[in-house]
A and B are shown apart, each in its own frame.
Chain A
Amino acid sequence: MTTSPVRPPQPRAVPAAPAWPDATGHFGVFGGRFVPEALIAALDELTEAYEAMRVDPVFLDEFAVLQRDYIGRPSVITEVPRFAEHCGGARVLLKREDLNHTGSHKINNVLGQALLTKRIGKTRVIAETGAGQHGVATATAAALMGLSCTVYMGEEDTRRQALNVARMRLLGAEVIPVTTGSRTLKDAINEAFRDWVTNVETTNYVFGTVAGPHPFPAMVRDFQRVIGDEAREQVLDREGRLPDAVLACVGGGSNAIGIFTAFVPDEGVRLVGLEAAGDGVETGRHAATITGGSPGVLHGARSYLLQDENGQTIESHSISAGLDYPGVGPEHSHLHDIGRAEYRPVTDAEAMEAFALLCRTEGIIPAIESAHALAGAMRLGRELGPDTLLLVNLSGRGDKDVETASRWFGLGDRTEVDPGPGLDTDQQPTEGAVAGDEAVAGRDAGEEA
């Protein structure tokens, strides 16, 4: 925990927040609150506390110290010229969220919400998780701040991701397997909401992404926007200009909103979200919510989602745990509809090609989620041509994905982890999950693309 003698970092000037959401949490026609009345009081309490906290210098100092001393912010920018040779001559800069404590951008949000939990006097946090990544981040913050922590996780996922279950338990969290519905992330979210409505007097729900009812989409955005605030300044310092495009993967969309937000007012900067197309959007086995879905209501907000003709949620499919979610944050739906951001599908195969390429050209193993953004950069670079400047959010590191990658590339015999569906809305990789980076380098995958 932080203590008062620590001098906080000097605040930087940051661009203003976008003009949305409105006072009741709407991003254009999206967002809002579609929840049982019983939760409204808790959401109002959270909104009020957050609004007070975000302008409270004591909180802001405490948060800034945590960002610097615990997460390791600011994260650096790395230029990747050997990778960029495969991007049509464009220059590529990576924002290195993979270097954060716990290995991804997830920790940015979780620490903010944990501080908020303490401020409103609650002693217990709950979270949903698919692969266990947001669960591990929440368990980490709970351990740091002395909060009790319960994580809901689909039963299938607790088996497949046994290592992360063990990590959460090491950190002192209780992990509850969810056996209802499709037993995936979306059912873990449902179960977390059921817990919350039952235990709301003592419990705060630490939501993992920029989805859910107001205030979660705005609050999680504000905790994640540090990514883009830093990156915009770093690119200006380094290049004397803004990037031509900013790219990020989109599941629920928190890392993408995090890096987009500072650039939204810069109309010359293209904002490109890469959705997980799984086997291909045309196959129906995908998680490309904006590309292949339609507007509706899921998990407390109106946004694009994957649904059938009866309005039932369709299960998503992606090799990437963190993008395997049938919904998306309402601000992304709004950015799409007003044409400020574009959303493109990236298949499993394209993402894995980019994954292997970054490993072999730059010595950086990305999270498979982030590899979708890298694949987007390869394509966009070829479209835009030489001398364009691309900024890619490397939202997490790929240690957690070594086993999945080994299976994909047919390397080695260690195939006990099944890279199935039903993981986090975004990712936060497992550190040191599986030793064996050499396995990935063992085959010439995708270099000639």
Chain B
Amino acid sequence: MSLLQQRIDAARAEERAALIAYLPVGYPDVDASIAAMVAAVEGGADGGGADVVEIGVPYSDPGMDGPVIQQAVDVAVRAGVGMRDVLRAVEAVAAAGAVPVVMSYWNPVERYGVERFAADLAAAGGAGAITPDLIPDEAGAWLAASEAAGLDRVFLVAPSSTDARLRSTVRACRGFVYAASTMGVTGTRATVGGAAERLVARTREAIADVGTALPVCVGLGVSDGNQAAQVAGFADGVIVGSAYVRTLLDGEGPDGVRRLSADLARGVRQRAAVRPSHA
């Protein structure tokens, strides 16, 4: 059974959405980034923190990321942060009690070696990988390697995806399906619009069509507890990235990350109380 799906299903059993926190390895440095990931898992004293940490592999050309994540990742790239550091973060997140999943653009994985990456990630306790610029059509080597290593593989769907592509992408996913809420890049937004809810509904139809039971998690644009609650009203998991990175860029350190996690964790538990806006 998929580590990611188990954890997200456990959240569902508590009648809440799962909280997935993205942080890149190496900002402001490797140790501090790992401390921030652990802080995201710890969250507030009263409530929960992140269920899953999406551990970002620094990449020189992050075409799907907005300015906040670009700025942090640029520092890590210049410092020469590599897959060895990423695997250390995976071990730390697992030890902190959350499920670690790696988020990587494809070239760093290919350069490290696809099979070697899968084997080392599994050995470090990682659940699998999210690959924002790898579509299943090009993923032959990764499908085979992740299968052999028992790893989850999370592909993205977007509002522009056709129904046929939703079905083929869902068929290739293991762990969960990453629904990109809007057409655009990562970054906080004032509202996470109705496009996300429609996409989740369409993705669930595709999941039913292909006869699996994958959770659908929503990323892009969520920055606080209220938005998290909105998204938790229609998705199985809420992915937050830029808002976490913003706290580090603002120098708030692990305490800031902890506060944000606590706020977001409250949000994903209020799903019954807040209906999604249809802005």
The residue on A at minimum CB distance from B157 is: A37
Task: Indicate whether A312 sits within 8 Å of B74 (C-beta atoms), given known contacts A36-B132, A37-B135.
Answer: no
B63 in contact with A297 (CB, 8 Å): no
A-contact bits for B41-63, CB 8 A (1 contact / 0 none) = 00000000000000000111111
Residues in A with CB closer than 8 Å to B165 are 37, 40-41
Docked complex Cα distance between A41 and B92 (Å): 39
Task: Indicate whether A190 sits within 8 Å of B61 (C-beta atoms), given known contacts A40-B165, A41-B161.
Answer: yes
Docked complex Cα distance between A182 and B60 (Å): 9
Residues in A with CB closer than 8 Å to B70 are 180-181
Residue A280 is within 8 A (CB to CB) of chain B in the complex: no
Q: In the complex, identify which listed stretch (B180-188, B205-213, B261-269) lies at the interface while the others stay far away.
A: B180-188
B110 in contact with A197 (CB, 8 Å): no
Task: Indicate whether A297 sits within 8 Å of B107 (C-beta atoms), given known contacts A37-B157, A37-B158, A200-B160.
Answer: yes
Task: Indicate whether A310 sits within 8 Å of B160 (C-beta atoms), given known contacts A194-B185, A299-B61.
Answer: no
B180 in contact with A298 (CB, 8 Å): no
Chain A proximity of B37: nearest CB distance (Å): 20
Task: Indicate whether A311 sits within 8 Å of B169 (C-beta atoms), given known contacts A36-B158, A37-B158, A198-B184.
Answer: no
Q: Which one, B59, B66, B81, B180, contacts A36 given CB within 8 A? A: B180
Task: Indicate whether A190 sits within 8 Å of B183 (C-beta atoms), given known contacts A35-B133, A37-B157.
Answer: no
Task: Indicate whether A296 sits within 8 Å of B110 (C-beta atoms), given known contacts A34-B138, A38-B160, A190-B62.
Answer: yes
Chain B proximity of A180: nearest CB distance (Å): 5
Residue B134 is within 8 A (CB to CB) of chain A in the complex: yes
B108 in contact with A312 (CB, 8 Å): yes
Chain A proximity of B168: nearest CB distance (Å): 11
Docked complex Cα distance between A309 and B113 (Å): 11
Residues in A with CB closer than 8 Å to B110 are 296-297, 311
Interface size on A, residues (CB 8 A): 35
B63 in contact with A35 (CB, 8 Å): yes
Residue B159 is within 8 A (CB to CB) of chain A in the complex: yes
Chain B proximity of A191: nearest CB distance (Å): 9
Within 8 A of B (CB), among A1-41: 24, 32-41
Q: How many contacting A-B pairs (Cβ < 8 A)?
A: 119
B-contact bits for A299-318, CB 8 A (1 contact / 0 none) = 11000000101111100000
Residue A134 is within 8 A (CB to CB) of chain B in the complex: no
Residue A42 is within 8 A (CB to CB) of chain B in the complex: yes
Q: Which one, B107, B134, B159, contacts A38 given CB within 8 A? A: B159
Residues in B with CB closer than 8 Å to A296 are 107, 110-111
Chain A proximity of B12: nearest CB distance (Å): 25
B80 in contact with A310 (CB, 8 Å): yes
Residue B137 is within 8 A (CB to CB) of chain A in the complex: yes
Within 8 A of A (CB), among B59-88: 59-64, 66-67, 70-71, 74, 77, 80-83
The residue on A at minimum CB distance from B160 is: A41
Docked complex Cα distance between A407 and B138 (Å): 46
Task: Indicate whether A311 sits within 8 Å of B112 (C-beta atoms), given known contacts A36-B156, A41-B161, A181-B74.
Answer: yes
The residue on B at minimum CB distance from A32 is: B138
Residue B155 is within 8 A (CB to CB) of chain A in the complex: yes
Task: Indicate whether A197 sits within 8 Å of B185 (C-beta atoms), given known contacts A34-B133, A36-B132, A297-B106.
Answer: yes
Of B66, B70, B80, B111, most A-chain CB atoms within 10 Å: B111
A-contact bits for B118-161, CB 8 A (1 contact / 0 none) = 00000000000000111101100000000000000001111111
A36 in contact with B133 (CB, 8 Å): yes
B111 in contact with A307 (CB, 8 Å): yes
Residue B191 is within 8 A (CB to CB) of chain A in the complex: no
Residues in B with CB closer than 8 Å to A332 are none
B180 in contact with A38 (CB, 8 Å): yes
Q: Which one, A38, A180, A201, contacts B158 given CB within 8 A? A: A38
With contacts A37-B155, A37-B169 known, what are 8 further pairs, Cβ within 8 A? A32-B138, A35-B135, A190-B63, A197-B184, A300-B133, A310-B80, A310-B82, A311-B107
B residues near A (Cβ < 8 Å) are 58-64, 66-67, 70-71, 74, 77, 80-83, 106-112, 132-135, 137-138, 155-162, 165, 169, 180, 183-185
**What are 18 A-to-B residue pairs whose CB atoms are below 8 Å?**
A33-B135, A35-B135, A36-B132, A37-B161, A37-B169, A38-B158, A38-B180, A38-B183, A38-B184, A41-B158, A180-B71, A180-B74, A193-B63, A198-B184, A200-B183, A296-B111, A310-B83, A312-B77
